Amino acid sequence: MLLIFYSLALLVVLIVSAPYWLLRMATTGKYREGLPQRLGRVPRALRNAVKDKPVIWVHAVSVGEILAAGRLVHTLREQSGCTVVVSTTTRTGQALARERFGPNSVFYFPLDFAFAVRAYLRALNPRMVVLLETEFWPRMLAECKRRRIPVAVVNARISDRSWPRYHRLRVLWRPLLRNFAVVLAQSDTDTQRLHALGAANAVTAGNLKYDIRVTAPATIIDTIRHHLPINARVLVCGSTCAIGAEHEEQLLLAALPAGVVTILAPRHPERFPIVAEMLDRSGRTWHRRSTWAVHPAPLASGSILLLDTIGELASLYAIATVAFVGGSLVPVGGHNPLEPAQFGIPILMGPQVHNFRGIVHTLRAEHAVEIVSAENLASALDHLFAHPDEARRMGAAARAVCQREAGATDRAVAALLKVLRRES
Q: Which residues are catalytically annotated?
A: 65
Helices 170-177 & 188-197 angle (0-180, nearest 10): 100
Task: Kindly report the number of other CB atoms within 10 A of residue 389's CB atom.
Answer: 7
Task: Kindly report the number of other CB atoms within 10 A of residue 21's CB atom.
Answer: 14
Sign of CA dihedral 105, 156, 69, 242: positive
Are residues 93 and 34 in contact, defined by beta-carbon separation less than 8 angstroms?
no
Q: Measure the CA–CA gap between 12 and 5, rounded to whole angstroms.
A: 11
* Interacting residues of 280 by C-beta distance below 8 A, sequence separation 6+: none
Q: How far is CA 364 from CA 188, 272, 367, in A?
A: 18, 31, 5
Q: Quick one: which of 71, 77, 69, 91 has its CA closest to 49?
A: 77
Q: Which residues on neighbouring strands pair with residue 304, listed in sequence order?
A: 262, 286
Are residues 279 and 61 in contact, defined by beta-carbon separation less than 8 angstroms?
no
Given strand 369-371, what is the order of strands in its sheet?
A: 286-288, 304-306, 261-266, 234-240, 322-325, 347-349, 369-371
Q: Quick one: which of 214, 242, 241, 210 has its CA closest to 320?
A: 214
The number of residues in the chain equals: 424
**Burial of 157 from C-beta contacts in 10 A (0-12 / 13-18 / 19+):** buried
Q: Which residues on neighbouring strands pair with residue 242, listed in sequence order?
A: 247
Q: What are phi and psi of 168, to 5 degrees?
A: -60, -35
**Which residue stretches of 29-156 are H helix?**
35-38, 44-50, 63-79, 91-101, 114-124, 138-146
Give the three-state DSSP class for 3: helix
Q: Measure the CA–CA gap between 396 and 393, rounded to whole angstroms.
A: 5
Q: For residue 400, is it left (φ>0), alpha (ψ between -120 and 50) or beta?
A: alpha
Are residues 263 and 279 in contact, defined by beta-carbon separation less than 8 angstroms?
no
